[in-house]
Amino acid sequence: MTLVEEKIGSDVESVKKLNRKFSELKNEISKVIVGQEIIIEQILISILAKGHCLLIGVPGLAKTLIVKTISEVLDLKFNRIQFTPDLMPSDITGTEILDSDSSGRKTFKFIKGPVFANIILADEINRTPPKTQSALLEAMQEHKVTAAGMSYVLEEPFFVLATQNPIEQEGTYPLPEAQLDRFMFNLWLDYPEFNQELDIIKNTTSLYSPELNIIISHSEILEFQDLVRKVPVADEVIKYSVELVSKTRPSNNSAPKIVKDYISWGAGPRASQYLILGAKTNCILNGRYSPDIDDVKKVLQPVLRHRLIPNFNAEADGVNVLKIIEELGS
């Protein structure tokens, strides 16, 4: 047994169990979802790391179906909230109604909103005003909802996947940086490859209707989330993550020229936290017991993509955030 395995101790078997379950998960999800393996893996990393995802892609790329399928194979309650300009905060969190008991006495009763689930799909979140967007802030950060002076704790695990449509900007309200920062990952869905699209069309225009099996139970998800937190990390890996994030800040003397020239605001400490949590999760999903720098680099793009704010020079010179992240991680 290696030194790292000794540090994990009895959790070595839990890591092996998670490896088996993860392989079964991917096979089960592939019954419904064709392609998008990387997106699915990153969503699962977020769930195990207790994070949230912002998913961006054009309509028709199965964003809703991916989330619904994952919720079914993970034995989680799933709710979809369609964000519209007239959506109110109470439509998300819930509202109080005046209720009468058998004796005729009237009391206020809280009716829980759709946020009371394990997986929330916030569909087209940027189509609703900031006041309604902020209704998710407390739920995402504190895992609780406050209504009429009372706090209601959300059932664990709790995970928000919000979607945005990148091609329709009219009538939208861009997410404020404070809310963007609460998402662990920013994931971009690409169009399927030609052969994948052939399979999609064959499956969706026939009587094909696969039955999904539950692969990971509710209690096992909580067990695996705790396991991620127990994974030991070498000091040099943490140092690498913190140094890398600090280099995204143009005010930092160690920031590279591309950051100083093209970035207005860099990433905050939450980015360093998510880099380490993502690296931890990635390593145990691949059967290892402690992350290295390559594990950090694997989650670098989805963690930093929405945390770097480019300036006007970047737009004028055609320099996008992904190019800057690539140079930082090289």
Same-domain pairing of 21 and 163: yes
Instruction: Looking at the structure, tell me whether residues 274 and 198 fall in a common domain.
Output: no
Contact predicate 307/248, CB 8 Å: yes
Count of domains observed in the chain? 2
Residues 129, 210 within the same domain: yes
Has residue 5 been placed in a domain?
no
* pLDDT score, position 7: 57
For residue 23, give the H/E element and its range: helix 12-29
Which residues lie across from 121 on neighbouring strands? 80, 161
Inter-residue contact 11 to 230 (CB < 8 Å) = yes
Indicate the average pLDDT of the chain. Answer: 84
pLDDT tens, residue by residue, 217-234: 888 899 999 999 988 999
Q: Residue 124: its pLDDT value, please?
A: 84
* Higher pLDDT, residue 238 or 138: 238
Q: 272 and 169, same structural domain?
A: no
Domain final residue pick, 198, 230, 262: 230
Q: Are 273 and 296 in contact (CB under 8 A)?
A: no
Residue 258 sits in which domain range?
A: 232-330
Q: 242-279: per-residue pLDDT in tens?
A: 999 999 998 888 888 888 888 888 888 999 999 999 99
Residue 159 lies in a domain: yes
Give yes or no for residue 4 having a pLDDT over 60. Answer: no
Domain at 36, CATH number: 3.40.50.300
Residue 292, pLDDT above cutoff 60: yes
Tell me which of 38-42, 62-66, 83-87, 228-232 is least confident.
62-66
Looking at the fold, whether 213 and 273 belong to one and the same domain comes out as: no
pLDDT in tens, 77-109: 888 888 888 888 888 888 877 776 667 677 777
Are 57 and 206 part of one and the same domain?
A: yes
Ranges of H-type helices in the chain: 3-8, 12-29, 37-48, 63-73, 90-93, 130-133, 135-142, 177-180, 194-204, 218-230, 235-246, 257-262, 269-285, 293-298, 300-304, 312-317, 321-329
Same domain for 212 and 237?
A: no
Whether 164 shows a pLDDT value over 90: the answer reads no
Q: Is pLDDT above 80 for 8?
A: no
For residue 311, give the CATH number of its domain. Answer: 1.10.8.80
Q: What is the mean pLDDT of the segment spanning 145-168?
A: 80
Q: Is the pLDDT of residue 310 over 70?
A: yes
